[in-house]
């Protein structure tokens, strides 16, 4: 937990890197395996800390889970435990995605309110309201969200905001409900499409994936399946912005460029050359980036998870950038650490204004969440001297083989074990 990275500035990233499955998908797919008795196998899983954490959550519910490199095998029993009230649940936000499957399979779920990244409030109101419209009762008790249902039934549900987590929990409960559920203003992220694909492979009847309206015809039971996890667009986007910041030349594989249309378009506006392929893209930057404005929005807008990378690029770009955060209110904690690195930045509500510097200055910095940690490493690549990045366990939760990949691309990054 006390490991740190030593990052030397001045490297120009070049070469090729391939991304694995998406963190924001694999954990939800693992939870979906609760819906069917038998063994579900997921391929192309990222080798990150959150996968074994989710495995512990599922084991606590009665599953057998084998994590074998990029393959995860989940054997779900006929009778599941309904209480997910243990330490593993509290460590990361994605654990709440067991709420929908447990309510559907067991008629009851008790899930400890999750922890995770320090990026702002993420209440469960829409999760609870959605389950209640399906026929469940919900309440918060002793630090846990509790849902109970004799029988779930189809309903028309409209989300106030296209919440990814609420969409996932409503989906995984509705697939075993009686009748038809219509979910309006649903999240459209590629990870939602991936979940719908797995559920349909398990025997669900879901249409509309990728649009803002999902229709779910309930079925009596699902069966286990074998599935390849969609590529991680956030990791791919991180590499893309690292190239632009270091004026490099890198080909990124294992990802559909359609999932990063707007982030790649922003790089083109900043002066990068971007070539796209069926399963990857290449970014070439041969000069200092031009300043570009950003605002985060749900997919297909600019991802909030790439906001720290946008700030990093703006910090070294030529000109002034305004970055607006519309999803999580506390994500600008990252800016405090960028100021330590010499960024010229000022925060005004949910906007941050940056005046780009030709070079940042090395200093010790601390990660507050997964993406902030990665963003600090990228910024350190643009600093003079060696920067110490602390609390890198956050990065380990979302980026497989991060140091090894950076090193292969030409960066000088060393992991120093904690004492």
pLDDT digits (tens, 9 = 90+) for 233-245: 999 999 999 999 9
What's the pLDDT score for residue 115?
A: 57
Of 228, 246, 274, the one marking the end of a domain is 228
What's the pLDDT score for residue 141?
A: 87
pLDDT tens profile 150-182: 899 999 999 999 999 999 999 999 999 999 999
- Of 1, 74, 62, 86, residue with least CA distance to 38: 74
Q: Is 117 a catalytic residue?
A: yes
pLDDT at 11 over 90: yes
pLDDT tens profile 30-46: 999 999 999 999 999 99
Kindly state whether residues 293 and 212 are assigned to the same domain: no
| Cα(127)–Cα(121) distance, integer angstroms | 14
pLDDT at 72 over 70: yes
pLDDT at 116 over 60: no
Question: To the nearest whole percent, how much of the chain has pLDDT over 90?
Answer: 86
Whether 2 maps to a domain, the answer reads: no
327 is in an annotated binding site: yes
User: Average pLDDT of 136-145?
Assistant: 90
Of 201, 228, 255, the one marking the end of a domain is 228
Whether 124 maps to a domain, the answer reads: yes
What's the pLDDT score for residue 91?
A: 64
Kindly state whether residues 273 and 355 are assigned to the same domain: yes
Tokens of 8: 């030397």
Kindly state whether residues 143 and 262 are assigned to the same domain: no
Whether 9 maps to a domain, the answer reads: no
Kindly state whether residues 58 and 158 are assigned to the same domain: yes
pLDDT band for position 89 (50/70/90)? Answer: low
Kindly state whether residues 273 and 180 are assigned to the same domain: no
Kindly state whether residues 266 and 322 are assigned to the same domain: yes
Of all helices (H) and strands (E), which one includes residue 167? helix 164-174
User: Average pLDDT of 299-311?
Assistant: 96
353 is in an annotated binding site: no
| Cα(13)–Cα(405) distance, integer angstroms | 10
200 is in an annotated binding site: no
Whether 290 maps to a domain, the answer reads: yes
User: Average pLDDT of 196-225?
Assistant: 98
What's the pLDDT score for residue 119?
A: 38
Phi and psi torsions of 327, nearest 5°: -110, -55
More confident residue, 348 or 255: 255
pLDDT at 120 over 70: no
Whether 80 maps to a domain, the answer reads: yes
What's the pLDDT score for residue 143?
A: 80
User: Average pLDDT of 303-332?
Assistant: 92
Whether 1 maps to a domain, the answer reads: no
Backbone Cα Rg of the chain: 21
> Under 8 Å CB-to-CB from 142, ≥6 apart: which residues?
none
Kindly state whether residues 352 and 363 are assigned to the same domain: yes
- Average pLDDT value for the chain: 94
Kindly state whether residues 49 and 170 are assigned to the same domain: yes
pLDDT band for position 84 (50/70/90)? Answer: confident
Kindly state whether residues 267 and 410 are assigned to the same domain: yes
User: Average pLDDT of 202-218?
Assistant: 98
Of 207, 228, 249, the one marking the end of a domain is 228
Whether 185 maps to a domain, the answer reads: yes
pLDDT at 118 over 50: no
Which residues pair with residue 66 across a beta bridge? 73
Asked whether the beta carbons of 59 and 76 are under 8 A apart, the reply is no
What's the pLDDT score for residue 121?
A: 43
pLDDT at 85 over 70: no
Kindly state whether residues 180 and 250 are assigned to the same domain: no
Task: Provide the domain count of the chain.
Answer: 2
Tokens of 128: 């609870």
Q: Given its phi and psi angles, is residue 129 left (phi above 0), alpha (psi -120 to 50 degrees) or beta?
A: alpha
Residue 59, domain CATH: 3.65.10.10
111 is in an annotated binding site: no
> Under 8 Å CB-to-CB from 168, ≥6 apart: which residues?
28, 97, 100, 187, 192, 195
405 is in an annotated binding site: no
- Of 24, 17, 78, residue with least CA distance to 238: 17
Instruction: Specify the residue for token string 């998870």.
Output: 305
SS3 296: strand
What's the pLDDT score for residue 88?
A: 65
Whether 16 maps to a domain, the answer reads: no
Kindly state whether residues 278 and 192 are assigned to the same domain: no
What's the pLDDT score for residue 330?
A: 64
pLDDT at 223 over 50: yes
| Options 117, 194, 391, 396, the catalytic residue | 117
Kindly state whether residues 271 and 367 are assigned to the same domain: yes
What's the pLDDT score for residue 333?
A: 81
- Structural domain span for residue 242: 231-416
């Amino acid at each position: 937990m006390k490991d740190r990275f030593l990052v030397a500035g001045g490297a120009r990233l070049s070469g090729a890197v391939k991304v694995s499955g998406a963190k924001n998908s694999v954990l939800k797919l693992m939870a979906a395996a609760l819906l069917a008795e038998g063994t579900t196998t997921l391929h192309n899983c990222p080798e990150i800390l959150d996968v074994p954490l989710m495995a512990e959550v599922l084991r606590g519910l009665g599953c057998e889970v084998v994590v074998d490199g990029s393959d995860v095998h989940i054997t779900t029993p006929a009778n599941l435990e309904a209480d997910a009230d243990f330490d593993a649940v509290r460590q990361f936000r994605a654990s709440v995605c067991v709420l929908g499957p447990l309510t559907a399979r067991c008629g009851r779920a008790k899930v400890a309110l999750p922890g995770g990244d320090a990026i702002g409030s993420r209440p469960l109101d829409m999760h609870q309201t959605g389950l209640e419209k399906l026929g469940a009762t919900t309440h918060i008790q002793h630090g846990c969200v509790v849902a109970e249902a004799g029988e779930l039934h189809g309903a028309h549900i409209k989300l106030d905001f296209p919440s990814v987590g609420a969409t996932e929990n409503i989906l995984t409960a509705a697939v075993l409900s009686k009748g038809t559920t219509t979910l309006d203003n649903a999240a459209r992220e590629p990870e939602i499409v991936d979940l719908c694909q797995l559920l349909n492979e398990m025997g669900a009847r879901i249409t509309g994936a990728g649009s803002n309206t999902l229709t779910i015809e309930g079925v009596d039971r699902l069966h286990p399946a074998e599935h390849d996890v969609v590529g991680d667009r956030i990791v791919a986007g991180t590499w893309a912005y690292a190239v632009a910041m270091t004026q490099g030349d890198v080909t990124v594989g294992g990802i559909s460029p359609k999932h990063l249309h707007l982030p790649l378009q922003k790089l083109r506006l900043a002066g990068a050359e971007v070539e796209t392929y069926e399963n990857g893209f290449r970014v070439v930057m041969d000069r200092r980036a031009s300043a570009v404005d950003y605002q985060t929005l749900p997919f297909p807008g600019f991802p909030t998870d790439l906001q720290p990378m946008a700030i990093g690029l703006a910090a070294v770009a030529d000109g002034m950038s305004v970055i607006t955060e519309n999803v999580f209110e506390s994500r600008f904690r990252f800016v405090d650490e960028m100021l330590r690195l010499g960024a010229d930045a000022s925060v005004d509500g949910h906007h941050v204004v940056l005046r780009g510097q030709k070079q940042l200055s090395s200093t010790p910095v601390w990660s507050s969440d997964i993406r902030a940690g990665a963003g600090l490493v990228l910024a350190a690549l643009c600093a003079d001297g060696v920067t110490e990045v602390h609390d890198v366990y956050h990065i380990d939760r979302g980026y497989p083989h991060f140091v090894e990949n950076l090193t292969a691309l030409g960066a000088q990054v060393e992991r120093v074990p904690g004492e």
